[in-house]
Structure 1
Amino acid sequence: MKGHIFKRGCTCKKKRKCTCGAKWAFVVDIGTDPLTGKRKQKTKSGFRNQEEAEAAATTLIYELSQGTYVEETDQTFSDFAKEWLPIYSESKEVKPGTIRVRLHEIGKLLPYFAQLKLKDITRKMYQDALNDLKEQGYSDRTREGINQTGRMIFRKALELEVIKKDPTEFAYVKRDKKTIEQLEEEEIPKYLEKEELALFLRTAKNYGLELDYLVFLVLAYTGIRVGELVALKWKDIDFLNHTISITKTYYNPNNNTRNYQLVTPKTKKSRRKIVVDEVIINALKEHKEVQMKVMEHLGSDYYNHDFIFAKMERLHGYPIVIKTVQNRMARLLALADLNQELTPHSLRHTHTSLLAEARVSLEQIMDRLGHTDDQITKNVYLHVTQEMKKEASQKFSELMRSLR
């Protein structure tokens, strides 16, 4: 492997001692250009003395002999991030919503690194960026997402041999220490007690608008996500065996009724079949009869794509948008004088709490909800079962007191 050490730009010619202050450099053969067949060379200068230049050249020659040499590029973070996003989306089954999140997170890193060369971004620079995001008030969860995206970008750069070192390798997200009260508030989401749920459903039945009662009845009795509910089609219902198949979810970030997408569920575990009560089956049957009459009346003006929760007024047949479900729930909570901070997702937590109260195991609940591992669901379950343990303790004490 050829190479040599020299003084770059030395003007002293052949004098015994250099006085022009030129720096030392090296040039090393690093292979053959596949297009021209000519040798490729790596030159690096700026060394203070001959020993430094020789040491650097020796390191390079060793990396070449071991096959570990990486020729870093001058590509900027911004340019590489643009290349990474389609690679990321094509290599996995990534949903449009996830792509939007990744774009948002890249946007948070751009002010720090946009025009910097990837190879020049150090571990300290990356950690300082994460720390600054905390100073700006971004939540732990948001910063964790930003860090996750940053890690994926730099690891792909490392994999593609664009850089030698990953600046995210030892990065961490700083967290504030929280009090026990704060932890309890955050970890146990709000949900409806069974009496509150009964009141909410009565309110939906008596004062609800188009489809309200059926929507919230199904959400409450199945624990499915609102996106999964809106995407349901009649072919997903097995009236004979009382099951609902969850095979897709609804995506429509702009809430434009016509411009929706049906995408795969959140995770592989989210594809599932749920056994439902006869109450749900009967309510669905009644709705189907009403829907058939509307379809018969409108004929070709009805957007007939088999959706269960389809609009019955204007743009007939299109699936209702998630925003509508959220607005309808807020209206009904106000009418029932219930906690207006609750959302359709709160009915999922409500379903968890009531199953736990009915002594259904955590494993069965996770399977029904389509979870592999979800800390919030576990926290709801543990909270409810802890209250049940207190009840058991009280009953035991009452029993012992009756024996005195």
Structure 2
Amino acid sequence: MWIEQKTNGKYLFREKYVDFLTEKGKTVSVTLDKNTRETRSKAQKLLLSKITKIKQDKSRKIVPIKFKDLATQWESMYIKQVKTNSQLSIKANLKLLIESIEPDAISHKITTIYLNKLMETLVFGDRDISESYAKVLKIRLRAIFEYGVNHGHLKSNPASSLVIPKKVKDSTMVTEFFLETDELNQLMSYLKAHNTRYYLICQWLYLNGLRAGEGCAMQKSDVFINEDRQYCKVTGTLEYHGRKIADQVKSTETKTASGMREVDLSKKAIEIYQEALSLSPHSNFLFTTSNNTPIQLNAINAYLRVHKERMGFDEDRKISTHIFRHTHISKLAEIGVPLHIIQRRVGHASEKITREIYLHITNKMKSDTKDLLELL
């Protein structure tokens, strides 16, 4: 220890120590009013205490924990901060990660190389997960390991440098995402003849460009019909994961913030609304089963899948409730509605498929116009 007198008359007591991480000499200091035997003894104790604390902080031991236990701890903390639907997707993400990572794997032993190989297996192996889903898993891994770092189980986050492998993009034609006019007519005609309730909700989805969950959750009180304006408010989606049908409710938010919107209704949409009212007199939901419970999204999709060949579609054609939303977009593009208006109406500001459908339709219209010019 050495002592220096400061300009203000006080004394600076200094001591050297070797830094644990860099192995280089560093200095700590403490200022006291006097330079006496008592203050020198006091300074020595204070300096020793400082050095001990610094060394304990930098050389703290890692507390080992299995990955599955770390993931469970993180989930119990994070799950309280998100909506119910998000909680269920997080649980599904963690289930896959815990199943895929060796059950006795210690968190601080897991490396970036290990995680890269794991992700390659999930993307290109039997699981065959999509690139976008792999990115979601990376987000979960980063959050879990960051939690581990903050709670003394790791020194660094191995998921920070995790690389998501590129997957060959699906060559599906954009026309597969929506129905042409004749296809829409044959599908709706079949539904009208064989399942009135499904016909009504599918028409509602098509005419208004709603997500299927938004349509299934639509309440009678969400629809406003008056002389000045006719519209419906889209303010939630059907919360059905992990719930009995009788316990299903409309959520307080849509899938995204831009999904909260008001959608103007056409005369045809008002007709569908009035017919749906007559079939659901004892429920707050606009579209219900004969038991007055909300129509189930998976039930409609199963029906479309089973009956599509009878409707006149090929066996390999993908038909689901989401195709009505895309068909709505294509029809708006056909009649010349600008892209930003369409995006606002369907409640999505940056959906890639929306842009692709819009560009496909508008380019086709330009091509048709060019051919017509030859007739002049």
TM class, shorter-length: 0.7 to 0.9
Q: Is the 8 A contact 2:88 2:241 kept in 1?
A: no
The Cα RMSD (Å) is 3.1
CA-CA distance at 1:347 after TM superposition: 0.8
1:183-228 residue CA offsets vs partner (Å, 9 max, x unmatched): 4x166643211222123223322x1324132112111101111111
Matched, 1:370 2:347: yes
Q: Distance in 1 between matches of 2:110 and 2:303?
A: 49
Aligned to 2:117: 128
Structure 1 residues 345, 135: closer, same or farther in 2, change over 3 A? closer
Extract unaligned runs of 5+ from structure 2: 1-14, 20-50
Aligned to 2:284: 306
Matched, 1:390 2:367: yes
Q: Distance in 2 between matches of 1:78 and 1:190?
A: 39
SS at match of 1:238: strand
Aligned to 1:238: 224
Match of 1:195 among 169, 182, 187: 182
Residues 2-401 of structure 1 mapped to structure 2, 5 A cutoff: 64=54, 72-91=62-81, 93-96=82-85, 98-110=86-98, 111-137=100-126, 138-141=128-131, 142-160=133-151, 162-177=153-168, 182-183=170-171, 185=172, 189-205=176-192, 207-240=193-226, 241-253=229-241, 256-263=244-251, 264-292=253-281, 304-312=282-290, 316-330=291-305, 333-339=308-314, 340-396=317-373, 398=374
CA-CA distance at 1:113 after TM superposition: 4.5
Q: Distance in 2 between matches of 1:134 and 1:331?
A: 29
Q: Distance in 1 between matches of 2:197 and 2:243?
A: 18
CA-CA distance at 1:84 after TM superposition: 1.3
Q: Distance in 1 between matches of 2:256 and 2:110?
A: 34
Q: Distance in 2 between matches of 1:388 and 1:234?
A: 38
Q: State how many pairs are aligned.
A: 323
Q: Distance in 1 between matches of 2:240 and 2:72?
A: 24
CA-CA distance at 1:343 after TM superposition: 0.7
Q: Distance in 1 between matches of 2:52 and 2:371?
A: 74
Q: Distance in 1 between matches of 2:246 and 2:279?
A: 23
1:208-267 residue CA offsets vs partner (Å, 9 max, x unmatched): 324132112111101111111111111000011211111111132468432424323211
Q: Percent identity?
A: 21
Aligned to 1:58: none
Aligned to 2:28: none
Q: Distance in 1 between matches of 2:150 and 2:225?
A: 51
Q: Distance in 2 between matches of 1:380 and 1:70?
A: 57
CA-CA distance at 1:77 after TM superposition: 1.2
CA-CA distance at 1:78 after TM superposition: 0.9
Q: Is the 8 A contact 1:243 1:275 kept in 2?
A: yes
Letter in 2 for 1:149: R
Q: Distance in 2 between matches of 1:189 and 1:69?
A: 59
Aligned to 1:13: none
Q: Is the 8 A contact 1:70 1:163 kept in 2?
A: no
Q: Distance in 1 between matches of 2:269 and 2:293?
A: 22
Q: Distance in 1 between matches of 2:245 and 2:60?
A: 50
Q: Distance in 2 between matches of 1:117 and 1:212?
A: 51
1:18-72 residue CA offsets vs partner (Å, 9 max, x unmatched): xxxxxxxxxxxxxxxxxxxxxxxxxxxxxxxxxxxxxxxxxxx79948x877753
Q: Distance in 2 between matches of 1:391 and 1:62?
A: 81
1:258-277 residue CA offsets vs partner (Å, 9 max, x unmatched): 24243232111111110010
Q: Is the 8 A contact 2:218 2:234 kept in 1?
A: yes
Letter in 2 for 1:125: Y
Structure 1 residues 133, 347: closer, same or farther in 2, change over 3 A? same
Q: Distance in 2 between matches of 1:290 and 1:136?
A: 47
Q: Distance in 1 between matches of 2:76 and 2:174?
A: 35
SS at match of 2:101: helix
